[in-house]
Amino acid sequence: MTIAKGDRLPDVKLTKVTPDGPDAIQSADYFAGRKVALFSVPGAYTPTCSARHLPGFVERAAELKAKGVEEIACTAVNDAFVMGAWNESAGSSDITMLADGNGEFAEALGLVMDGSKFGMGKRGQRFSMIVDDGVVTELNVEQPGDFQVSTAEYMLGQL
């Protein structure tokens, strides 16, 4: 079953990328008590993700925070080291990287895509959501191949 507006996020292990290295966290703890803009990409360093998705959130971080977002987080089915390197090369300190190395978060959300024909295996779909104290208040899932509703600009219109 796919997560929907009004649902509480599932509680699974994620790996938060920190300056001191990977930090295993529970999603329930991470999202508790604050408003988070979360976006998911099929993979770090992939074309649309690197050229448009991550840069859009980097560029719009101050605007999102001015509208009440306390944290901006990016998740992907990649390991913490890849997510950390991607944030260093293309991201910013305004973006928290949450590695979903085994795809457990994407699967628990019901937002898995099969990228096997591209040699990528199972990945998380491209989406964005606003999470307020662990509850999804906005959910924007892209159709395969699209990049319209998961953008930072689209999210700004929802706040």
- Strand, coil or helix: what is 8? strand
Contacts of 89 (CB under 8 A, 6+ apart): none
Greatest Cα pair distance in the chain: 41
Report the candidate in 22, 65, 44, 41 with the shortest Cα–Cα distance to residue 150: 41
**For residue 137, how many other CB atoms are within 10 A of its CB?**
14
Residue 19, burial from CB neighbour count under 10 angstroms (0-12, 13-18, 19+): exposed
Residue 74 a catalytic site member = no
Answer whether 37's CB lies under 8 Å from 64's CB.
yes
Q: Which of 49, 61, 80, 155 is catalytic?
A: 49
Task: Indicate which residues carry an active-site annotation.
Answer: 49
